[in-house]
Chain A
């Protein structure tokens, strides 16, 4: 039912996009021109791209530990925030425009490094001692860790939001197939697709990936087969950290802003995406993120006809409602299967 609803929504949006005239016509949906709809869709896709990278972090950890790493949104925020200081310095001394490639590599390296560090510390300090505890215990710990990390960032870096510089080469837009797409959006989508593809290959075809799947299937048996379970779990958290670091930089550059609360809402949206796609599944997380991104960007616009004032404040409410309905009616997610029994 949910699936059908989503498909209808996307199809409607797509048809509207390509059939509406360039100028506003009569009728309820007429407030937006075809160009506006296109920009909604592209905005949704690029948000979905970031969400996919965060969602994978939730999904991988859930697959292996069967726990929601509630603090993953904070991992994302910490990396982005730490890289802000490098990016800001590079922007001040024009390094970002004179040699953007090196600058971007350094910024990404800092973000990834910090995110991975936070993710590994989180696992080591908060989750490893509780690995066999009743299920609620690590979850509550994760909530505490989220609060702790958020306010650590507040104490370390200050309560105010900072303007994150956007490099010149990502400013402006490219003309693609007769319509304009903002460079940053296109880069985000491409980077995300590449990373998801690499991860998919990594998990399905490498030795480490195989041990990850083995641990996800049955940690005890995997241990008996000679797999170092602790190392696999740390690797999983580290991979989540890498993806979150990249996502953090892209997110901060897209919205040109970072603050200590940045992690919370994208975190929840990404978790929704992971559940929607089927938690534990890589392709599912990517698909779910795409749908959630589109929904967040198109949903309010589609509701405009209902005369709800300030409908764009409701995108979080829409996300949560989707989450609730998915969990109620298809807890396994779109591409998940057996997860439902384990609820």
Chain B
């Protein structure tokens, strides 16, 4: 087999399968009417061609031969990418022909997403013959692009990718950005087409050009010799402002604070609600991060704390249970002020953490995961059951949760007000996590996570620190529950199923175990994105599963790794070099899967 083809067939096959999969699972039809630019580039089409781009990219990987790195020259890279894209396009074409021959609507009786309409969408709204020609041509072009981009130097790659990535981000965040422009008093027409709600060609290209120029400009500035020397000289030269921070840091900090404070007024009411939900999951993520990320205890029943926080807040502030004929008083209830109730809820949740933690102390790893999953399910079964009807309303849930309002605020009906309440809670949890991380406790967790037996031998009471992790994690999780109760004003047990535990876990894993920034990014991506791009909501669980698998296979330290945890993972890699090599997709002697952060 000629070299490009030998490299091409595997990525091409996988890309072909991915294209067929996303079509059959219903993603393509869902995104067919979501436009990125004009009416020509819909997100569905991007989704169809992206796998071929990536296949071209993968096929053009550098190879290591006898310890020497071989980088493909540009024409070779373009060729290898084009061949890969072409093969991938051909595979998709074969499937299209087969589907057409069998009759798409017959297949649709089994695979419900498949229909004549889908066949049309995948054929780029052309006849089947034209569609296939397009697949072959576009496949080769897109694959070649992937190969070329791979072969570029990192600097050039950044410049080339800046424009398309800008367009991608603007297209995905079309609702957020256009609302923001409106709220700021401008008309978004110059950027977004009001009919398709996607970008206009002029606006999209302008934005891409501006960002590309900015990237080029920055690179040029940095590469000047005097600028390159500057960072070394800066600490001496720069005026140290307040409290030992440089002026630059102060300015950045001020901008960040203003941005965070102004956010709900920029993005509008509806999206503020989404951001509120994101913050609830940041709280859940931060709490779970202590248990899983810091202490290394995989807890799959974390929803229990979420539910506890929500229901305890409801009961302590005097909410009512739903009954079949209206509302009734729960079996136990106090009419406390919200701010009095919160500390009590948090303390109680810490107690529940101890209660849950103490029996499972002896279990490790996967058994712990299963037992906590079981406990979480027991909690949600009990809350849903008729047994608990008198206390928490059973399947009907609770309502009339009020409180928390200070003066003119209205947390329940005004998401903007709620945002600030959530912000206070999140900052509290962030500060706690941050302080814990570098404290004696944090170091003890760290040691325990790395090697429990050694930690024990070094005099760390693993029992105590495990319980502490469960209690702290539970307390923070219950804050999330309390916020949910305030946000919704009513509770149903459906909000507390196992999916919440898994979503929280995915939030922590995506960002990186033990990484506080990671939790925020993870929550924004996994909770925020489906809210910003409503078409995506239905596919969130699917995406969660895919994200978890992909992160674990490709980048187990997460996208914004915690340096310390990453070092631990890297340590394990050194012992387990086989895995490291497999994860990096490289033959021996190359660097490990984990680059030093």
Residues of A within 8 A of B (CB): 67-68, 85, 125-126, 129-141, 143-152, 154-158, 264, 268, 271-272, 275, 308-311, 313-314, 316-317, 319-321, 323-324, 327-328, 331, 343
Contacts and interface: CB of A to CB of B under 8 A. Distances in A.
A328 B553 contact: no
Contacts of B381: 313-314, 316-317, 320
A137 B298 CA distance: 10
A130 B553 contact: yes
A67 B378 CA distance: 23
Nearest to A135: B365
Interface string B373-403: 1110110011011110100000000000000
Interface in B101-135: 109-113
A132 B579 contact: yes
B572 interface: yes
Contact of A136 (B296, B363, B502): B296
A156 B111 contact: yes
Contact of B378 (A131, A132, A152, A317): A317
B382 A317 contact: yes
Interface string B572-597: 10001011001100000000000000
A310 B387 contact: yes
Given A157-B111, A308-B387, A316-B381, A137 B556 contact: yes
A341 to B, nearest CB: 11
Nearest to B540: A151
B366 interface: yes
Contacts of A154: 541-542
Contact of B545 (A149, A311, A316): A149
Contacts of B327: none
A148 to B, nearest CB: 3
A150 B498 CA distance: 14
Contacts of B434: none
A150 B553 contact: no
Given A133-B576, A271-B370, A327-B367, A309 B110 contact: no
A137 B552 contact: yes
Given A151-B539, A324-B371, A139 B298 contact: yes
Contacts of A140: 298, 505, 509, 548, 552
Given A129-B583, A130-B553, A151-B542, A324 B375 contact: yes
Nearest to A308: B387
Given A130-B553, A141-B548, A309-B387, A151 B576 contact: no
Nearest to A331: B367
B578 A132 contact: yes
Contacts of A319: 374
Closest A-B pairs by Cβ, 4 of them: A144-B548, A148-B545, A155-B25, A147-B545
B579 A130 contact: yes
B359 interface: yes
Nearest to B506: A144
Contact of B542 (A155, A309, A313, A324): A155
Quick one: which of A68, A85, A141, A157 has the most chain B CB within 10 A?
A141
B371 to A, nearest CB: 5
Contacts of A158: 112
Interface in B533-588: 539, 541-542, 544-549, 552-553, 556, 569, 572, 576, 578-579, 582-583
A141 B552 contact: yes
Interface in B481-496: none
Given A310-B385, A317-B381, A156 B113 contact: yes
B296 A313 contact: no
Interface of B: 24-27, 109-113, 296, 298, 300, 359-360, 362-367, 369-371, 373-375, 377-378, 381-382, 384-387, 389, 498, 502, 505-506, 509, 539, 541-542, 544-549, 552-553, 556, 569, 572, 576, 578-579, 582-583
A268 B364 CA distance: 18
B105 to A, nearest CB: 15
A148 B540 CA distance: 10
A154 B27 CA distance: 12
A139 B369 contact: yes
A275 B552 CA distance: 26
B542 A148 contact: yes
Contacts of A272: 374
A313 B383 CA distance: 11
A102 to B, nearest CB: 21
A125 B552 CA distance: 12
Given A147-B502, A150-B545, A314-B385, 19 more contacts: A67-B366, A68-B366, A137-B556, A139-B298, A139-B365, A140-B505, A140-B552, A144-B547, A151-B539, A152-B25, A155-B25, A309-B385, A310-B387, A313-B385, A314-B387, A320-B375, A324-B359, A343-B365, A343-B367
A343 B363 contact: yes
A156 B118 CA distance: 13
A149 B25 CA distance: 11
24 contacts: A67-B366, A131-B578, A136-B365, A137-B552, A141-B548, A143-B300, A143-B548, A144-B544, A146-B545, A147-B502, A147-B541, A147-B544, A148-B542, A158-B112, A309-B386, A309-B387, A320-B377, A320-B378, A323-B374, A324-B359, A327-B370, A327-B371, A331-B363, A343-B362
Contacts of A309: 385-387, 389
Give the interface SS of chain A, mostly helix, strand, loop or mixed. helix
Contact of B556 (A133, A139, A316, A327): A133
B113 A155 contact: yes
Contacts of A138: 552
A155 B549 contact: no
A136 B582 contact: no
A154 B375 CA distance: 26
B541 A320 contact: no
Nearest to B300: A143
A134 to B, nearest CB: 6
Contacts of B371: 323-324, 327
B360 A328 contact: yes
A313 B579 contact: no
B549 A145 contact: yes
B466 to A, nearest CB: 15
B502 A328 contact: no
Contact of A134 (B363, B539, B541, B569): B569
Contact of B370 (A141, A144, A323): A323
B531 to A, nearest CB: 18
A331 B378 CA distance: 20
Given A68-B366, A158-B112, A129 B387 contact: no
Contacts of B506: 144
A125 B385 CA distance: 39
Contacts of B547: 144
Nearest to A264: B498
A343 B370 CA distance: 12
A152 B545 CA distance: 10
B541 A150 contact: yes
Contacts of B542: 147-148, 151-152, 154-155
B253 to A, nearest CB: 35
Contacts of A129: 553, 579, 582-583
Given A132-B578, A141-B552, A155 B377 contact: no
A67 B369 CA distance: 12
B505 A143 contact: yes
B386 A310 contact: yes
A139 B297 CA distance: 12
B168 to A, nearest CB: 23
Contacts of B25: 152, 155-156
Quick one: which of B110, B360, B547, B572 has the most chain A CB within 10 A?
B110
B113 A268 contact: no
Nearest to B569: A134
A148 B502 CA distance: 12
B278 to A, nearest CB: 20
Contacts of A68: 366, 369-370
